[in-house]
Structure 1
């Protein structure tokens, strides 16, 4: 038994030394059949790649921590069956910056991959990038202040687009409690956030308010947090800012929370007779004269 444990320990130590040597000196992989790629780190976070049997040289910008260290990795980030290059480095105490280079089989070159611009993504760039193969999704997670944020990306053809992102809600707890009694979210529940799913053209497909610290499962429709109406009578408006309505909710009605805008919250009430009814409520009730 001791000999077995010793053998396992030595093997583990050998694997660790091999992994450390690979990390220190570089990484090697086949981007495609017959196309070897050899990569090593240079000073200042730069990356040297030798591509193909002719070892064509390509110099790339990478990322590095405060001591100039990086971790080299390879994975299929665009789900085309070809391995791509990832350069990772710890930033601060919790974040991990990631530089991504796709292998372009047409040019036999590594091409930089960056998130699309002009989107409501929370993370600037790729952070702690995870490749979710079953749902063909890239998951980027970053921390800003006390809050973690998650952005989801997908491809339509060769186009990378923001598939899902969150918007943290800064709500007055007392004003919210006066209107809605929230269902318990569990001991580890985080602050509320609006999760939004987009198509490749940037159009909104769905909204739902949920836990800002628990990213929804990729590829599954958003599940909205539920609450119970508190006031005896609560006006349900068709749009934000409307002054008049003939629709009302009553105390005890259960609603699903969908969106928030300027102190108004969009909810869905599943009327047992008429089906789902969607409208906006004011989180600050008007004073009674």
Structure 2
């Protein structure tokens, strides 16, 4: 399922739950165990904040939470950090399709709930845990959002207790510019092209590949680039974006994989029958 469809399904379900809660004048508090011998109780307050009581310590907290236009939220206990014990998750519909999410986990040192927030990075599209999905099999969190007409997805993983951006996309408006040089087969279900990047915990890019901007690559698997067919009789293949001269060329009907894009230059990989994999950059804006 494409992540836009999953997001829509989640929002529809969320709206249904919200309507059900609206009919319940006094929803039951959420209760769960945050640590051995430590129980928690949480209730949504007017405006969307969350009142928390920890026992047996008696510690009380008021957390910002997440709120929809009516100041309400949906609470759940989910194992978001894969330690075997659930965290407090607040979800609220934002607009017609997006879902704001706030996550709080128990800190045994502070003996209270603290916000779980990803490390700030320029690569993320959604700016936090929007439309949160939890993939226990790959220990990956998904964050999905819509901006204007486009859907975006970010994926996060843990480095110890630190939540970092593991994979993200950068949408391209490249199809028409690329077509005279490299033709990528268009299908009815394919979205706009996007550069997908995989990062290490320090933010270093480990791999890039151009793929479907509406189809999130499987977490934990290498990126698989789309391929295309060279349309020009002789297509210069440059070593770096911005180079003015090259002795390398691709020819008509060569098959290439699309790896990256910078300012209209597209990195491709060509499997040379004698030299093996050859990488270079194609200028789509000469």
TM-score (norm 2): 0.89
1:23 Cα deviation (Å)? Answer: 8.5
Counterpart of 2:271?
270
d(CA) in 2 for partners of 1:43 and 1:251? 65
Confirm or deny that 1:183 pairs with 2:205: no
Q: Give the paired residue count.
A: 267
Task: State the superposition RMSD in angstroms.
Answer: 1.9
Counterpart of 1:77?
80
Q: Is the 8 A contact 2:47 2:70 kept in 1?
A: no
SS of alignment partner, residue 96 of structure 2: coil
Q: What whole-Å deviation, never above 9, does each CA across 1:91-147 have from its counterpart, x for those lacking one?
A: 101111001111112332111111221331000221110111111111000001111
Alignment of 1:241-280 (within 5 A): 241-280=242-281
Counterpart of 2:213?
212
d(CA) in 1 for partners of 2:211 and 2:26? 39
TM-score (norm 1): 0.88
Q: Is the 8 A contact 1:164 1:195 kept in 2?
A: yes
SS of alignment partner, residue 43 of structure 1: coil
1:229 Cα deviation (Å)? Answer: 0.3
- Which of 157, 162, 165 is matched with 1:162 structurally? 165
d(CA) in 2 for partners of 1:171 and 1:30? 50
1:263 Cα deviation (Å)? Answer: 1.1
Counterpart of 1:104?
107
d(CA) in 2 for partners of 1:216 and 1:22? 42
1:22 Cα deviation (Å)? Answer: 11
Unaligned runs of 5+ in 1: 1-16
More moved, 113-122 vs 126-135 = 113-122
Counterpart of 1:121?
124
Q: Is the 8 A contact 1:23 1:71 kept in 2?
A: no
SS of alignment partner, residue 24 of structure 1: coil
- Which of 133, 138, 151 is matched with 1:135 structurally? 138
Q: What whole-Å deviation, never above 9, does each CA across 1:225-281 have from its counterpart, x for those lacking one?
A: 100000111110000000111111110110000011111100000112111111100
Larger Rg: 1
d(CA) in 1 for partners of 2:156 and 2:106? 18
Q: Is the 8 A contact 1:25 1:41 kept in 2?
A: no
d(CA) in 1 for partners of 2:189 and 2:88? 36
d(CA) in 2 for partners of 1:259 and 1:125? 25
1:65 Cα deviation (Å)? Answer: 0.8
d(CA) in 2 for partners of 1:283 and 1:119? 26
Unaligned runs of 5+ in 2: 1-19
Counterpart of 1:68?
71
Counterpart of 2:44?
41
1:172 Cα deviation (Å)? Answer: 5.8
Distance 1:181-1:206 versus aligned 2 partners, 3 A rule: same
